[in-house]
Amino acid sequence: MQSFLSILSAIERGEVTPRQAVAKCFDATAAKDAEIGAFRTMADRETTLAAAEQASGPLAGIAVGVKDIFDTHDMPTEFGSAIHAGNRPAADAAIVAMLRAKGAVVAGKTVTTEFAFLQPADTRNPRNPAHTPGGSSSGSAAAVAAGMVPIAIGTQTGGSVIRPAAYCGVAGYKPSFRLLPMVGAKTFSWSLDTAGFFAAGVADVAAFVARLTGRALAVEPVDPSSLRIGLYRTSLWEEAAPDMQAAVELATDRAGRAGATIVEVDEPSALSAARAAHLELQNFEAAMALAFEYDNHRDRLSDVLRQNLEQGRQTTPEAYDEKRRIARRARRETGALFETVDVLLTPAATGAAPEGLSSTGSPVFNKLWTLTGNPCINVPGITDASGMPLGVQVLARFGRDRMALSVAWWLQALLGDARIGAQKQ
């Protein structure tokens, strides 16, 4: 993989120019993407290299893969749907404009599942092409995992950043809700849709978002003796594969040995209720957000999307309002959880990436935190006996993104390249 921080250092030391750093991304993509299918559209190589050469700013020399759910004025933006084939937006999404203003270039648009929902696309997992990369930010996770680009941008409505990051073995960061603008991203559910980021390691993703936003997000040293980690198993624990349970236990075990205080945290009933409310809330909003597509191009929607939109259309405003109240209560209760711990640790997914491309996996360990808006990080490093990544999720109080990133970075170092289970025959 390409490390964002290593590229910045190499540029700073004069070992590589911004143009060369970006050219390396085009070369890597040309070499690998026929097999992986991470990009839907690549930017024009020469135009982009010329832009990199002229670039100034804290992200000069950085090529970014942008999920094809964000508008780009100079590249088609198709949202993973044939309905919008060839669509050319009038303006860049706010986050794309931010990238460019800071000196980064858009290497290309990465593959998204249809409207960032569940219908799988063709992207393969770089760790094993027979497995799904996860979704919906499939191409963004794969592009980073395959070493095509140092940074990619995705979105999460259920688990679309953390899960593909976990499956592909890269760092994933879903910031606190509305830390980054969603202007110019195709809406699925406005209460849930959240921009997120992929990079080789946690320190990379933190440094990138710090430079992108001007916020104090770069990781800082953690004092284990004052760190309180909550192990958050909940009733979902049995849905995690044994390898995943072992990965989370390995993380808490090593953190405990390093001096952190580990406590078991039970799930308040308000949070279980909120997890259960996620789908109906999401679908009600999606039915409005995609009403044009449903009303005019129904036959070009996947079955799974059409069925969920129809479910959303059946939901009454009163039922939706009740789900919104449940979500508000959950946000308050989540705040209370962090009175006794600094971060929570949970599985990032139910296990390693499933074999086959017919499903992008389950967001069951992620969707509650998308609803509550807390910052979530996937910590990469652990693999199973076959070498497939097992992600551990760190989350912190709303707005305490730097805490989540710093603890995740510390954990990543503690875990190294740990392997779970016996080697397969």
Which string of b and e fits 370-394 if b means at least 16 CB within 10 Å? bbbbbbbbbbbbbbbeeebbbbbbb
- Nearest approach, Cβ of residue 270 and its own copies (Å): 19
68 versus 243: smaller Cβ distance to its own copies: 68
* 395, 347 Cβ separation under 8 angstroms: no
Query: Nearest CA to 204 among 348, 409, 19, 64?
Result: 409
List residues binding its own copies (CB under 8 A).
73, 84, 87, 89-92, 94, 96-98, 100-101, 178, 181-184, 187, 190-191, 213-215, 285, 288-289, 291-293, 295-296, 316-317, 321, 399
* 2, 201 Cβ separation under 8 angstroms: no
Q: Give dist(CA 326, CA 317) in Å, integer.
A: 14
- Nearest approach, Cβ of residue 101 and its own copies (Å): 6
23 versus 94: smaller Cβ distance to its own copies: 94
- Nearest approach, Cβ of residue 88 and its own copies (Å): 9
Q: Give dist(CA 412, CA 251) in Å, integer.
A: 9
- Nearest approach, Cβ of residue 406 and its own copies (Å): 18
182 versus 408: smaller Cβ distance to its own copies: 182
Q: Give dist(CA 35, CA 123) in Å, integer.
A: 9
* 148, 136 Cβ separation under 8 angstroms: no
Query: Nearest CA to 115 among 361, 291, 248?
Result: 291
181 versus 256: smaller Cβ distance to its own copies: 181
- Nearest approach, Cβ of residue 60 and its own copies (Å): 16
70 versus 410: smaller Cβ distance to its own copies: 70
351 versus 373: smaller Cβ distance to its own copies: 373
97 versus 418: smaller Cβ distance to its own copies: 97
Q: Give dist(CA 48, CA 266) in Å, integer.
A: 50
- Nearest approach, Cβ of residue 415 and its own copies (Å): 31
The token pair at 246 is 């072992």
- Nearest approach, Cβ of residue 120 and its own copies (Å): 23
- At 194, phi and psi to the nearest 5? -140, 130
Virtual torsion, Cα 151, 359, 396, 272, nearest 10 deg: 160
- Strand partners of residue 344: 230, 395
Q: Give dist(CA 167, CA 173) in Å, integer.
A: 14
- Nearest approach, Cβ of residue 187 and its own copies (Å): 4
Task: Catalogue the E-assigned strands of 201-325.
Answer: 228-231, 261-264
How far is the first Cα of the chain from the last one, in angstroms, to the nearest whole number? 27
14 versus 317: smaller Cβ distance to its own copies: 317
62 by DSSP, 3-state: which? coil
- Nearest approach, Cβ of residue 97 and its own copies (Å): 4
114 versus 285: smaller Cβ distance to its own copies: 285
Q: Give dist(CA 190, CA 178) in Å, integer.
A: 10
